[in-house]
C-alpha cells in the first residue's frame, strides 16, 4: 500500500517533469475569453475540446499543475494503458449527478482532496483500477478554486464507455460467478423494492438513484471479492451506471419512471451471471 503510494508518487513526478520539460502549462493560451483546449489529439484531430469559463484561467492553471500530472483532462484512448487516474471529465461526470448544487459538489471535492477515503468514493471502479488517490496536502484555497472550476468546466462530448474499459460480462467457464449470499439476496430485495417503488415526486427518484449507488458500492468494495470475479461485478454494475446517473438528476417524472424500469430490467440479468 505504502509501496504503491511511493510508486504513484514517482510516476506522477516523472509525468510532471516530462510536462515541465515539454513546456506544457506555459502561458500560450491566455486570452481571457472562452478558451478551448484539446484533451489530447487523436490522429491529428480533436474529437472535442474543453472550454474554460471566462476569468477562470488562474484556476485552470492550478488544475494543470496540481491535477493533470495524474488525471488527463479528457479521455485519451491512444494513451489508455498509461493512465494513472480517471480523466477529469469522467470525475465531473460521476460527481455532478450526486449533488443538487454547486456548493455541495465543491465541498465533496474539497473533502475528497483533504482526505481520500474509500467510503466517500463515488468512483469505486477507478479505485479498483488505479488504487485509491493519495492524499496530497493541497492548500484549501487552491483546492476550492479547482473544485469550482471542475464544476463549471464544459468538457465537450464525453465519449461513451459502455463498459468497454472493463471488458465484457462472461460466465465463469460456462457456470455462474459465486457471490456472498447476502449480496445475492440484496439484489433480489432491490428488485422487489424497485418494482414496488412509486412516487409522484421526481425528487424521490433522484434520491432513489443515490441510494442505489450506495447499495451497489457496498458490494463492489467488499474486500473478499478479487480478480476475475470482481472484474465481472464491475462490468455488470458499469452497465447500470447510465441509468443510475440519469435517475439521480432526472427532472421529468415520466422519464424517471422509464429509467427506473430500464434499471430493473438490467438488474434482472444478475441472476443469469451470479449465484451464491
Ligand atoms: C498522484 C496522482 C494524482 C494526483 C496528482 C491527483 N489525483 Fe485525483 N485521483 C488519483 C487516482 C489514482 C484516482 C482514482 C482512484 C480514486 O478514486 O481514489 C483519483 C480520483 C480522483 C477523484 C474521484 C474520487 C472518488 O473515488 O470518488 C477526484 C474527485 C479527484 N481525483 C480529484 C483530483 C483533483 C481535483 C486533483 C488536483 C487537485 C487530483 N485529483 C490530483 C490520482 C491523483
Q: What are phi and psi of 16, to 5 degrees?
A: -60, -50
* Ligand 1 centroid to residue 247 C-alpha, Å: 25
With a 6 A CB cut-off, is 59 part of the ligand 1 pocket? no
3-state SS class at 158: coil
Residue of the CA atom closest to atom 22 of ligand 1? 91
Return the closest-CA partner of residue 15 out of 59, 48, 60, 64: 64
With a 6 A CB cut-off, is 89 part of the ligand 1 pocket? no
In order along its 276 residues, the chain shows pLDDT tens digits of 455 555 555 555 554 444 444 434 333 333 333 445 544 433 333 446 788 888 899 999 999 999 999 999 998 877 777 789 999 999 999 999 999 899 999 999 999 999 999 989 999 889 988 999 999 899 999 999 999 999 999 988 766 654 445 568 889 888 999 999 999 999 999 999 999 999 999 999 999 999 999 999 989 989 899 889 998 999 999 889 889 999 999 999 999 999 999 999 999 999 999 999
Residue of the CA atom closest to atom 5 of ligand 1? 67
With a 6 A CB cut-off, is 25 part of the ligand 1 pocket? no
* Ligand 1 centroid to residue 46 C-alpha, Å: 25
Contacts of 230 (CB under 8 A, 6+ apart): 128, 220
Half-sphere exposure of 38 (CA within 13 A, CB side): 9
Q: What is the largest CA-CA distance in the chain?
A: 59
pTM of the model: 0.77
Indicate the domain borders of the chain.
Answer: 2-152, 164-275
Using only C-alpha atoms, the chain has a radius of gyration, in whole angstroms, of 20
Q: What is the DSSP letter of 89?
A: H
Amino acid at each position: 500500500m505504502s509501496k504503491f503510494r511511493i510508486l504513484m508518487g514517482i510516476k506522477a513526478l516523472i509525468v510532471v517533469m516530462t510536462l515541465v520539460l515539454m513546456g506544457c502549462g506555459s502561458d500560450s493560451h491566455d486570452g481571457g475569453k472562452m478558451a478551448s483546449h484539446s484533451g489530447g489529439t487523436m490522429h491529428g484531430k480533436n474529437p472535442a475540446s474543453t472550454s474554460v469559463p471566462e476569468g477562470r484561467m488562474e484556476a485552470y492553471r492550478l488544475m494543470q499543475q496540481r491535477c493533470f500530472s495524474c488525471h488527463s483532462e479528457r479521455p485519451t484512448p491512444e494513451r489508455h494503458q498509461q493512465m494513472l487516474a480517471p480523466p477529469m471529465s469522467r470525475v465531473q461526470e460521476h460527481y455532478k449527478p450526486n449533488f443538487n448544487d454547486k456548493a455541495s459538489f465543491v465541498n465533496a471535492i474539497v473533502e475528497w482532496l483533504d482526505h481520500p477515503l474509500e467510503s466517500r468514493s463515488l468512483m469505486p471502479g477507478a479505485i479498483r483500477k488505479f488504487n485509491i488517490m493519495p492524499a496530497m496536502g493541497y492548500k484549501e484555497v487552491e483546492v476550492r478554486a479547482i473544485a469550482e472550476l471542475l464544476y463549471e468546466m464544459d468538457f465537450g462530448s464525453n465519449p461513451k464507455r459502455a463498459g468497454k474499459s472493463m471488458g465484457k460480462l462472461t460466465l465463469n467457464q460456462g457456470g455462474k460467478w459465486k457471490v456472498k449470499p447476502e449480496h445475492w439476496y440484496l439484489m433480489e430485495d432491490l428488485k422487489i423494492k424497485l418494482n414496488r417503488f412509486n412516487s409522484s415526486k421526481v425528487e424521490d427518484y433522484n434520491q432513489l438513484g443515490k441510494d442505489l449507488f450506495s447499495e451497489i458500492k457496498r458490494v463492489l468494495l467488499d474486500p473478499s471479492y478479487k480478480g476475475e470475479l470482481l472484474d465481472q461485478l464491475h462490468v455488470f454494475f458499469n452497465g447500470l451506471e447510465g441509468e443510475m446517473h440519469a435517475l439521480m438528476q432526472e427532472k421529468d417524472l415520466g422519464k424517471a419512471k422509464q429509467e427506473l424500469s430500464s434499471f430493473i430490467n438490467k438488474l434482472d440479468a444478475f441472476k443469469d451471471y451470479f449465484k451464491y
